[in-house]
């Protein structure tokens, strides 16, 4: 089995190439992911839109249709090296060898794909999955039909779906705040904690309630809000909000502890 690391995104929200970010131990993210892939796959390839954007000793598979997202990377890989293929997003900062070993050990070649369930919404996670040849061969037709959503494509393959052995292993980072959350999990560990959330104004309208107590794996205020946004599709971003923890205004990197009371404060209407 081969692996392909998807590093073709433009990283606009992060503001820099995510594959080149230095991890807490000093290694580059792309080298970390490539190292994990090499341990379990015969060949490791890199999917890029710009072959000069990353310097690493990996063969590059250029996208056949740059800008069309992960499915075009699957189509390109199917043409270049076939299946089965382990697909990994380059921004999986919390990925570990145990998670990959668990995925590979449950592979069923008679199915088109195998993947993990997202820990929050239970849907298929396309950027840590094994696509069999029969699944990869459908990528071109999906693109021809206008399907650019990697998750919907994976779900159309009726994949084997697994629960994550390490719940936060697929947490990724799209913004600097997300990255701080991932690094906090790496350096401080991942623990589940109960916190009380208070909602006001537009967030209360969107959520349909004043408060709730939830279980979270978040380390930071930003990580907590990202979980809530993903779970409930909240309409506001952190750039428009203030956060208070236990009655004190805090920054988005503030740590969350068990039994904290957290308030996300929207702007005042007309203010």
When pLDDT is averaged across residues 231-243 and rounded to a whole number, the result is: 92
% of the chain surpassing 70 pLDDT = 93
- CA dihedral (75, 77, 83, 84) in degrees, to 10, reads -100
Residues listed for the chain: 271
Strand partners, 160: 114
Query: Class assignment of domain 191-265?
Result: alpha beta
| C-alpha–C-alpha distance, residues 261 and 189, integer Å | 21
Burial 87-100 (b: 16+ CB within 10 A, else e): bbbbbbbbbeeebb
Strand partners, 198: 211, 263
pLDDT 10s digits, 35-75 = 999 999 999 998 876 555 567 778 888 776 666 678 888 88
pLDDT 10s digits, 85-94 = 999 999 999 9
SS3 at position 4? strand
| C-alpha–C-alpha distance, residues 222 and 24, integer Å | 19
pLDDT 10s digits, 173-227 = 888 989 999 999 999 999 999 999 999 999 999 999 999 999 999 999 999 999 9
Residue 138: how many other CB atoms lie within 10 Å: 20
Residue 9 pLDDT: 65
pLDDT 10s digits, 125-159 = 999 999 999 999 999 898 888 888 999 999 999 99
pTM of the model: 0.89
| C-alpha–C-alpha distance, residues 172 and 182, integer Å | 7
Q: Which helix (H) or strand (E) holds 216?
A: strand 211-216
Q: Are 99 and 155 in contact (CB under 8 A)?
A: no
- CA dihedral (21, 27, 29, 33) in degrees, to 10, reads 180
Task: Tell whether the model's pLDDT for residue 16 goes beyond 70.
Answer: yes
Pick the CATH number of 2-162 from 3.30.450.20, 3.40.50.620, 3.90.550.10, 3.40.50.1820: 3.90.550.10
The domain spans of the chain are 2-162, 191-265
Strand partners, 42: none
Task: Tell whether the model's pLDDT for residue 271 goes beyond 50.
Answer: no
Task: Tell whether the model's pLDDT for residue 23 goes beyond 50.
Answer: yes
Residue 205 pLDDT: 93
């Amino acid at each position: 089995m081969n692996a392909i690391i998807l590093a073709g995104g433009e990283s606009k929200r992060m503001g820099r190439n995510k594959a080149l970010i230095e991890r807490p131990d000093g290694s580059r993210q792309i080298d970390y992911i490539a190292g994990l892939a090499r341990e379990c796959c015969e060949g490791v390839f890199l999917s890029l839109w710009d072959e000069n954007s990353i310097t690493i000793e990996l063969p590059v598979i250029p996208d056949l249709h740059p800008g069309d997202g992960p499915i075009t990377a699957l189509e390109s890989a199917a043409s270049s090296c076939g299946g089965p293929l382990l697909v990994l997003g380059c921004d999986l900062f919390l990925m570990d060898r145990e998670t990959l070993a668990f995925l590979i050990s449950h592979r069923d070649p008679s199915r088109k794909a195998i993947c993990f369930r997202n820990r929050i919404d239970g849907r298929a996670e396309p950027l840590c999955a094994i696509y069999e040849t029969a699944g990869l061969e459908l990528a071109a037709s999906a693109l021809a039909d206008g399907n650019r959503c990697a998750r919907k494509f994976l779900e159309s393959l009726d994949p084997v779906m697994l629960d994550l052995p390490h719940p936060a292993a697929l947490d990724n980072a799209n913004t600097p705040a997300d990255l701080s959350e991932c690094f906090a999990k790496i350096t401080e560990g991942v623990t589940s904690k109960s916190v009380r959330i208070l909602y006001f104004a537009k967030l209360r309208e969107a959520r349909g309630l004043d408060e709730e107590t939830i279980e979270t794996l978040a380390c930071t205020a930003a990580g907590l809000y990202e979980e809530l946004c993903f779970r409930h599709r909240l309409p506001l971003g952190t750039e428009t909000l203030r956060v208070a923890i236990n009655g004190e205004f805090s920054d988005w990197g503030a740590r969350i502890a068990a039994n904290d009371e957290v308030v996300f404060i929207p702007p005042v209407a007309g203010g």
